Amino acid sequence: MYSTCLYCTRDLGTNSVIETLPVGRRVAFDSAAGRLWVVCRNCERWNLVPFDTRLETIDQGERLFQTAKLRFATDHIGLARLPEGLELVRVGPALRPEFAAWRYGDQFGRRRRDVALKTAAASAALPLASGVIAFAAGIAMPTEVVGGLSVPALFILAVMVMARRRTAGIVAIADGEAGVVTVESANASRIIRRADGEWGLELHAFGQRKGGFAVGRAPTESRFWGAEAAPLLGQVLPIVNRMTGTRGVVRDAVELVTDNRSVPQILRRGEMLGRQVRYVPPGQGSRSTREPADGLVLAELPLASALALEMFTHEESERALLTADLALLERRWREADRLAKIADELVTG
């Protein structure tokens, strides 16, 4: 078991309670299905554990859960916190909608809160920083500077430009090759379709990064299809969906995933819910049109559809790992470790 999250590449933490699984601060298990996960406390996504020690860990988790003081419980899901600080999530014979709402609601809710807090902090700090710069600069230079903009205005403009280039994620687009994704490039990426009906992803990503910012004049557009596109879509959608997570939207998304089991089905059903999807032909930017085309901009998807697609791609990836051998899961973990090292370079580079 590796120590890095498969999705956000952050460290999963450790525990000294479960002998066969010393990784993670929240461990989830389903005894009936024989599934075991380590839940990342940064992105709240569930990392499937390899097969070799899974049954022994589930048995130990059951014993610990029975003797722990419950903090939350229903007929199907329970959450217990042990004195050491480890949290155990016990999944019973839950109906799929209830389990999905509980599992993903936690992820989306935390993501929404984190973005809201960061936005509020930035908004509060910006006027103060602008005032300090304006005061200091006003002593030595006129209020009006380049292009008729004041010093505070230039400062705000610089902050906006930097925010557009700040790295929001790093994705593995090929063996040994990583793509740098910003919020803007993730939003501009598109779900596409070929003449034969195969769906795909047109990913907008930069090829270089420096100090936490994407480098280059414009992102490169790369196209991936079917099974190759699904894991990439699963990595990009959390960036696009960073401000979603209300209970009503999550409930709609769970219904979409429950009733539809493919990307095209989810998109078609999402349109039937009455929310307008804007089709964007290649090469026309964000200009909307009602004429048929082969692209759907991720940022313009209905909220429920975008969340449903995120749920679906993650579950498809997990399903593939369950049916594959241990070597495939090991490759996924090694890839996550490699991306984690790249992410570290963004901080220290």
E strand segments, the chain: 26-30, 35-39, 46-48, 70-73, 77-81, 87-91, 167-174, 177-182, 190-193, 199-205, 208-210, 213-215, 220-225, 295-297
| Per-residue model confidence (pLDDT) at position 164 | 79
pLDDT, tens digit, 9 for 90 and up, residues 129-144: 444 444 444 444 444 5
- In this structure, the chain runs to a length of 349
Which residue(s) pair with 79 in the sheet? 72, 89
| Per-residue model confidence (pLDDT) at position 135 | 44
Q: How confident is the model at residue 58 (pLDDT cuts 50, 70, 90)?
A: very high
| Per-residue model confidence (pLDDT) at position 245 | 66
What lies within 8 Å, CB to CB, of 45 at 6+ separation is 5, 6, 7, 8, 39, 107, 314
Give residue 41's Cα distance to chain centre: 13
CA distances from 170 to 40, 66, 154, 239, 329 (A): 17, 40, 30, 11, 19
CA distances from 178 to 123, 181, 264 (A): 32, 10, 27
Which letter does DSSP use for residue 298 in this model? G
Q: How confident is the model at residue 333 (pLDDT cuts 50, 70, 90)?
A: low
Burial (CB < 10 A; 0-12, 13-18, 19+), residue 327, is: exposed
Which letter does DSSP use for residue 147 in this model? G
| Per-residue model confidence (pLDDT) at position 274 | 38
Sign of the Cα pseudo-torsion (213, 214, 217, 218, in order):
negative
Cα 307 from Cα 295, distance rounded (Å): 18
| Per-residue model confidence (pLDDT) at position 12 | 93
| Per-residue model confidence (pLDDT) at position 324 | 61
Residue 83 has pLDDT above 90, yes or no: no
Helix, strand or coil, per DSSP, at residue 76: coil
Phi and psi torsions of 130, nearest 5°: -65, -40
Residue 17 has pLDDT above 90, yes or no: yes
pLDDT, tens digit, 9 for 90 and up, residues 95-110: 567 777 777 777 777 7
Terminal-to-terminal C-alpha distance of the chain: 29
Residue 283 has pLDDT above 70, yes or no: no
CA distances from 263 to 126, 313, 318 (A): 41, 8, 16
Cα 42 from Cα 233, distance rounded (Å): 20
pLDDT, tens digit, 9 for 90 and up, residues 224-246: 998 889 888 988 999 999 877 67
Write the single-letter amino acid at 196. Answer: D
Q: How confident is the model at residue 48 (pLDDT cuts 50, 70, 90)?
A: confident
Is pTM, for the whole model, over 0.75?
no
Residue with tokens 């901080």: 347
Cα 188 from Cα 203, distance rounded (Å): 8
